C-alpha cells in the first residue's frame, strides 16, 4: 500500500543498525587488542591464545546480540519518527475538491515535520478560498444572466398570450427583447474578456497607452457633455509604450473612463492623468461624486461588486473594474482603488513600461521619475 514509507523506515533502521554495528565492532576490536597485549605480557603464550580465542567468541556473540536489539529498536524509533508523515499523506489523500475543509493540524514540537504540515494546511486554506470564490463567481454570473433571460421570456410570453397583438405591440416587444439581448451579450462579452485576461497575455506588441486613453475619452465626451461633466486629460508629451495586448489595454482605459463618467453626478468632474516613470506607466482616473466608504471602494475590483443594489445606479454588470485589475495583472502591473475624501473615486493603474522603449524615451523627456512608482502602486496627486 505504501512502499515508500516502508522503504524509508527500513532504510533508517538499516542505517541506524549499520552505524551501531560499526561503532560496536570498532569498540570491541580495540578492547580485544588492549586485552591481548595485556594477556601476552602476563600469561604464557599458550594460555594467552586460549583466553583470547574464548574472548573473541564471546565478543562476537555480544555484538550479534546488541545488533539484533539495535535493529528492533531502530525499527520502532523510525516508525515513531515517520508517523506524522503518514498522517500528512493520509490527509492529502483524503482531501479533494469537495472536502477541502480537512486539515492535518499536526500537534507536537515545532520541528521540520510540523512545519511541513502547517505549510500544507496553509496551502489548503488558500485552495479552499480560491474554490469558494470560483463558486461565488459562477453563482453570480448565472444570476446576472438569468435577469435578461427572464425579461426575454416574460416579453415573449405576454405577446404570445395575446392573440390580437398588433404590429405596435409586437414592435414594442421586439424592442424590449433587443435590449435584453444586448444586455446578455454585453455581460457574456465582459465575462469572456475577464476570463481571457485572467488567463494571461496571448501575444504582446508595443501599445501606445496615450492613444488608448485619448480614444477612451473621445468616445465618452458626448455623454459627459450631456450630463455637464467636465473631463480633463493630462498626458505626457511623449507617448509611453507598454508591451501588451492592445485590445485589453484599450478596454482597461475605456472601463475606467466609462466608470468615471457613468458613476458620476450631473455637473461633476473627471480627471484622467497619464504619467510615465522610468520603469512604468501610471494611469490615474479620478472623479468627484457621492461619498463612498473606504471599505466599499477596495472591494469594487471583485467581480459583480457594485455600490448600492442592482438597478439603483446606472446599468452595468459590475465586471468593469475586475477586468481592469485582471488586465493590469496580466501585464505585470496592478491597480489601486480608493475613495476620495470629498466623494467619488480614484483608480490608479500601474503598468510596466516596454523595456525596449523605456531608456530612450525617459532620458530626453527629463520628466521627474518618481521612486515610489518602482515599488508600490501609483499615488495620485491630491487635488
Ligand X SMILES: Nc1ncnc2c1ncn2[C@@H]1O[C@H](COP(=O)(O)OP(=O)(O)OP(=O)(O)O)[C@@H](O)[C@H]1O
- Nearest approach, Cβ of 322 to Mg ion (angstroms)? 9
Residues in the chain, total: 383
Grid cell locating 194:
475577464
Closest listed residue to residue 281, CA positions, set 202, 210, 200: 210
Residue 333 engages ligand X in binding (rule: CB under 6 A): no
- The whole-angstrom separation of Cα 324 and Cα 46 is 98
Question: What is the size of the binding site for ligand X (CB under 6 A)?
Answer: 21
Q: Is 306 in the site for ligand X (CB under 6 A)?
A: yes
Contacts of 172 (CB under 8 A, 6+ apart): none
Cβ-based nearer residue to ligand X, 259 or 354:
259
Collect all residues with Cβ–Cβ distance below 8 Å to 29 and sequence separation of at least 6: none
Q: What angle do CA 95, 99, 101 make, to 5 degrees?
A: 95
Question: Minimum CB separation from Mg ion for residue 306, in Å?
Answer: 9
Q: Are 145 and 184 in contact (CB under 8 A)?
A: yes
**Among the listed residues 91, 259, 287, 322, the single contact to Mg ion using CB under 5 A:** 259
Binding mask 255-294 for ligand X (x = CB under 6 A): x---xx--x-----------------------x-x-----
**C-alpha distances out from residue 51 to 40, 46, 315, Å:** 10, 9, 105
Residue with cell 508600490: 376
If the CB atoms of residues 208 and 290 are measured against ligand X, the closer one turns out to be 290
End-to-end CA distance of the chain: 68
Interface region with Mg ion, contact rule CB under 5 A, candidates 10-18, 29-37, 210-218, 309-317: 309-317
Which set of grid coordinates corresponds to residue 197?
485576461
Residues 44 to 63: which contact ligand X by CB under 6 A? none
Does 244 interact with ligand X (rule: CB under 6 A)? no
In the bound state with ligand X, the residue whose beta carbon lies nearer, of 241 and 254, is 254
- Kindly tell me which of 48 and 284 has the beta carbon lying closer to ligand X: 284
Closest contact distance (angstroms) between CB of 153 and ligand X is 23
CB of 298 vs ligand X, minimal distance in Å: 11
**86/77 Cα distance (integer angstroms):** 14
* Per-residue x/- track, 150-179, ligand X (CB under 6 A): ------------------------------
The residues binding ligand X (CB under 6 A) are 190, 255, 259-260, 263, 287, 289, 300, 305-307, 313, 316-322, 344-345
Amino acid at each position: 500500500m505504501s512502499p515508500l514509507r516502508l522503504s524509508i523506515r527500513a532504510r533508517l533502521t538499516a542505517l541506524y543498525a549499520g552505524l551501531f554495528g560499526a561503532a560496536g565492532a570498532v569498540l570491541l576490536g580495540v578492547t580485544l587488542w588492549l586485552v591481548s597485549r595485556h594477556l601476552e605480557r602476563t600469561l604464557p603464550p599458550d594460555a594467552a591464545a586460549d583466553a583470547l580465542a574464548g574472548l573473541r567468541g564471546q565478543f562476537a556473540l555480544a555484538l550479534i546480540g546488541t545488533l539484533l536489539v539495535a535493529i528492533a529498536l531502530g525499527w520502532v524509533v523510525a516508525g515513531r519518527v515517520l508517523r506524522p508523515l503518514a498522517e500528512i499523506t493520509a490527509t492529502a489523500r483524503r482531501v479533494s475538491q469537495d472536502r477541502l475543509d480537512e486539515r492535518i493540524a499536526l500537534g507536537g514540537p515545532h520541528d521540520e515535520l510540523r512545519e511541513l504540515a502547517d505549510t500544507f494546511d496553509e496551502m489548503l486554506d488558500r485552495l479552499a478560498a480560491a474554490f469558494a470564490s470560483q463558486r461565488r463567481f459562477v453563482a453570480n454570473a448565472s444570476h446576472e444572466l438569468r435577469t435578461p433571460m427572464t425579461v426575454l421570456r416574460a416579453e415573449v410570453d405576454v405577446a404570445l398570450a395575446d392573440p390580437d397583438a398588433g404590429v405596435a405591440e409586437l414592435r414594442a416587444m421586439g424592442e424590449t427583447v433587443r435590449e435584453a439581448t444586448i444586455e446578455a451579450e454585453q455581460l457574456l462579452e465582459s465575462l469572456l474578456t475577464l476570463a481571457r485576461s485572467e488567463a494571461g497575455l496571448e501575444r504582446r506588441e508595443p501599445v501606445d497607452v496615450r492613444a488608448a486613453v485619448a480614444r477612451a475619452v473621445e468616445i465618452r465626451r458626448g455623454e459627459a457633455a450631456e450630463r455637464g461633466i467636465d473631463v480633463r486629460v493630462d498626458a505626457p508629451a511623449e507617448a509611453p509604450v507598454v508591451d501588451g495586448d492592445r485590445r485589453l489595454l484599450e478596454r482597461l482605459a475605456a472601463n475606467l473612463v466609462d466608470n468615471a463618467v457613468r458613476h458620476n453626478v450631473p455637473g461633476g468632474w473627471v480627471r484622467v492623468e497619464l504619467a510615465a516613470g522610468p520603469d512604468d506607466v501610471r494611469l490615474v482616473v479620478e472623479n468627484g461624486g457621492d461619498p463612498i466608504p473606504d471599505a466599499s471602494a477596495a472591494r469594487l475590483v471583485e467581480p459583480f461588486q457594485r455600490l448600492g443594489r442592482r438597478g439603483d445606479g446606472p446599468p452595468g454588470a459590475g465586471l468593469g473594474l475586475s477586468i481592469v485589475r485582471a488586465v493590469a495583472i496580466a501585464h505585470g502591473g496592478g491597480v489601486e482603488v480608493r475613495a476620495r475624501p470629498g466623494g467619488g473615486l480614484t483608480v490608479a493603474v500601474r503598468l510596466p513600461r516596454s523595456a525596449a522603449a523605456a531608456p530612450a524615451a525617459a532620458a530626453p523627456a527629463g520628466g521627474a521619475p518618481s521612486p515610489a512608482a518602482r515599488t508600490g502602486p501609483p499615488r495620485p496627486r491630491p487635488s
